[in-house]
Each structure stands twice: as structure tokens, then as C-alpha cells.
Chains A and B, each alone.
Chain A
Amino acid sequence: MTLMIRDLCVARGGLPVLQGLSFTLAPGQALILRGPNGSGKTTLLRTLAGLQPPLAGQIDGTEEQIAYAAHSDGLKAMLSVRENLTFWADVFGQPDIVPALDAFALRPLIDRLAGTLSAGQKRRLGLARMLVTGRPIWMLDEPTVSLDVDAVAQFAAAVRAHLRAGGAALIATHIDLGLEADVLDVTPFRATQDTRAGASDEAFL
């Protein structure tokens, strides 16, 4: 169940962005990713989620374990809150959407079409989706965008509950969530001009 990253190198657009990255993420543990724009946080999360192959290094413990949430929530405007959540619960083989609704105070909105929600409400629905995946490792990319203070607190509480239940979370964010979490600054791992890790443009240099 422990996520183990060893000597990872990830690339965006044929260009290495991060190199030599190693860390472990045990059950009950949360890790906050920090680093300036373009430093490769999103690329790292997409690589760990299996959406793109790493250039080099080893990733262990991600198979069928990861729930991934990116900037866009995958919500359908013409489906209600209930239908959106039920769909993802079905895809991940989970029976119950009630805990997810409660965690993000979505009950009053349950029959509203997702298209009529505000940006913050949509975001809450997108985060509630993590709870219906039943997956132990959450990977969140800037989860608090357009959330108000209350909603951020709800989110932090949901993460805490997830950790208590033996889950883990990897969160790229700039704000302080008030979590007891380690912080990983990716800046020292930025790939340099002469990184040679098998990126696709290297053959041409």
C-alpha cells in the first residue's frame, strides 16, 4: 500500500522537468508538494497517476490505488449532483455516495444540475468524487482553487478522515490547509540544462 518513488525523472513536452526525485508515502501520511509555477508538480502527479510514462526511475504501489483530481473535475453540466457522483461510484465499483455528499455538504444540492452550480460548489462536487473512488492514495492538483474558507475546512477535514482510515494523500497546493503533513519542495529537483535521462529531444542534441 505504501507509495515508493525512487530516482524519478519526469518530462513535459519531450523536456525533463524534474529529476532524482525519491520519496515514500505510507498509509496515514500526507505530503504537500510545493514549488513555483512550471516546476513540474502537475507533470509529477500525472506521471504517478499513470497518465504518462516516467523518463526514468521507479514507481511502486500505484497500481489501482490512485484517485486523481486535476484542475477539471470531469463533471457533466446536464447531470445532477447525485447522477454525477453515482456515475463515478459505479465506475469505481462503490455502492454508496452518502458519505461523500455529507463530507462536502452537498445534500441540499443533490438534485441540482451540475451546470447550475457555482465554481466553488462544482469544486466541492469534484472533490467529493475522491471519496466515491474507494482508492487509498489521493492525488490532488490545486484542490482548493475557488473554494471559500468553510469549504477549505471541509476539504481538510475530509483529508484528515481519509488519513485516519489508513489512506494517503499527495497534494500540490500553495495554501496552508492546516494538515499535519510533510512538505516536499520540488525546486531542488528541477532538471538542469544538461540532464540526460532519455528525454525525446536528447537524441537531437
Chain B
Amino acid sequence: MTALLRRDLKLAIRAGGGFGLGLAFFLIVTVLVPFGVGPQSELLSRIAPGILWLGALLACLLSLDRLLALDWEDGTLDLLATSPLPLEAALSVKALAHWITTGLPLVLAAPVLGILLNLPAAGYGWLVLSLLLGTPALSVIGTFGAALTVGVKRGGLLMSLLVLPLYVPTLIFGAEVARRGATGMDPVTPLLMLAGISAGVIAIMPFASAAALRVNLR
């Protein structure tokens, strides 16, 4: 399992691995928002938590089609399915690799982009915490979407259509934590909900993903 994790991380970092693309996308979306809504700082600071969460979510989504498609094309998934590694474990590891290469950088970059959007000082800690708890769920749910659509040529758009509705609860609770944190309200309830969703999907979704992938490998 660590071999698969090491390999996926190595591949992400080497040329053509797409590492950093999600981060760059996050930056661009955040920069574009003031152009769309205007430069008033109190408006920006009000919508900052939501924009940052939405940007992170979209950046996460964008990198999902590489998650399984490359391994599908070169036959690695066939070989992994015949290896001693259970497919559920393999997909969990791939989701973890996706989180480390996409989710974690987004979490670390979010405070910097928070400055651009004039995020209130009280919000930084809660924003980072909510992203830290929420982005793993995004990766795991995304792996399910990737497993469903891996057999479809140019399935990126289809995958977005399938994955985005599944992101709704995570986004609602995650952004709520960040928003309450920024406005000085008590964010503990949505934080617990978010943690619950993350724990639940990490525990259960790999089984659904593996079931979908097995059907596709058939």
C-alpha cells in the first residue's frame, strides 16, 4: 500500500503529473472573484469564506479525471485488480494520494488567498480547520465519481455532473464553519457535522468506489 502511495506521489511531482495545477486554478478563481463582484472590501470579506471553499472544491474537482483515467489507459488498474491488494484499499490509497497532492496544498494556500479577499482575522483558523476536515471527503467522494466514469471517453464533464451534487453536504457544512468562524458565531455544530461526513465517507465510500470500478473492469 505504501508502494502505491509512494508511486502516486512520485508521479504527481514529476513532469506531466499535474501537481500544482489545482493550486494555480484556486489562485485564479480567487483573483477573478473581485473582478466579478466589485472591489468593496466589506462585501469581499463577507463572501470570502464561501468563495474560498467553492474555489477549493472546484480545484479538487478539476484534478479528479487524472485520478484513475491514466491508470485505466495503461492497464495498471487491471493489474492492480489481480494483485494481492484489495481494490478498496488501492482506491483509498489513491484518494489519499490525491488529497496530499491536491487537497493539502489547497488547505495551506487558503489563508494566503484569504488575505486577497479580506477575510476577517477571526476566520483564518476556522477556514483552515474546515478545509483540513472537509477536503479529504472531497477526494474520497471524487474517487467514487472517477471510478463510475473511468470507462467513459472524455468523461470529465459527466463526472462533474455526478460528483458536484454529492459535494453539497460537505460544502454546506464546510463553508458554514468558515462563515461562522469569520463572523464570530459558534462554529462547533457544523464543524462536528463536517467531521462526521468526512469520517463517514472515508469509511464507506471506498467500497462503493471499488464496486463501481470492478463493474468497469469487467
A and B co-occur in one complex: yes
Q: Which residues of A approach B to under 8 Å, CB–CB?
A: 49-53, 64, 66-79, 83, 86-88, 90-93, 129, 133
Q: Other CB < 8 Å A-B pairs besides A52-B217, A76-B7, A87-B7, 6 of them?
A: A69-B79, A72-B75, A72-B78, A74-B76, A74-B78, A78-B15
Contact with A along B38-76 (1 / 0, CB 8 A): 000000000000000000000000000000000101111
Q: What is the CA–CA distance of A66 and B82 in the complex, to the nearest angstrom?
A: 7
Q: Which residues of B contact A71 (CB under 8 A)?
A: 75
13 contacts between A and B (CB under 8 A): A51-B78, A51-B81, A51-B82, A52-B217, A64-B84, A67-B82, A74-B71, A74-B76, A83-B7, A86-B3, A87-B7, A88-B79, A93-B84
B153 interface contact, C-beta 8 A: no
Number of interface residues of B (CB under 8 A): 26
Smallest Cβ distance from A47 to chain B, in angstroms? 10
- A139's nearest neighbour on chain B, judged by CB, is B82
Point out the residues of chain A lying under 8 angstroms from B2, CB to CB.
90
Residue of A nearest to B77 (CB): A74
A78 in contact with B7 given A73-B75, A91-B80 (CB within 8 Å): no
Q: Provide the bound-state CA to CA distance between A78 and B10, in Å.
A: 9
Q: Given known contacts A51-B217, A70-B78, A88-B79, is B84 in contact with A78 (CB within 8 Å)? A: no
Query: Which residues of B have CB within 8 Å of A69?
Result: 79
In residues 1-51 of chain B, which contact A (Cβ within 8 Å)? 2-4, 6-7, 10-11, 14-17
Contacts of B76 in A (CB 8 A): 74, 76
In the complex, the chain B residue whose C-beta lies closest to that of A75 is B74
Those 4 A-B pairs whose CB atoms lie nearest each other, nearest first: A72-B75, A90-B3, A74-B76, A78-B14
- Chain A interface mostly helix, strand, loop or mixed? loop
Q: What residues on B are CB-neighbors of A92 within 8 Å?
A: 83-84
Chain A positions within 8 Å of B15 at CB level: 78
Hey, which chain A residues are within 8 Å of B74, CB to CB?
72-76
By a CB distance below 8 angstroms, the chain B residues around A75 are: 74
Q: How far is the CB of B216 from chain A (nearest CB, A)?
A: 11
Chain A residues with CB under 8 Å of B78's CB are: 51, 68, 70, 72, 74
Q: Tell me the nearest residue of chain B to A133, going by C-beta.
A: B83
Q: Are A91 and B82 in contact (CB under 8 A)?
A: no
- Whether B85 is near chain A, meaning CB under 8 Å from some CB there, is yes
- Cα separation A68 to B71 with both chains bound (whole Å): 16
Task: State the CA gap A72–B217 with chains docked (Å).
Answer: 14
Query: In the assembly, what is the distance between CA of A91 and CA of B6, in Å?
Result: 11
Per-position contact with A for B83-101: 1 when CB-CB < 8 Å, else 0? 1110000000000000000
Alpha-carbon distance between A90 and B82 when the two chains are bound, in angstroms: 14
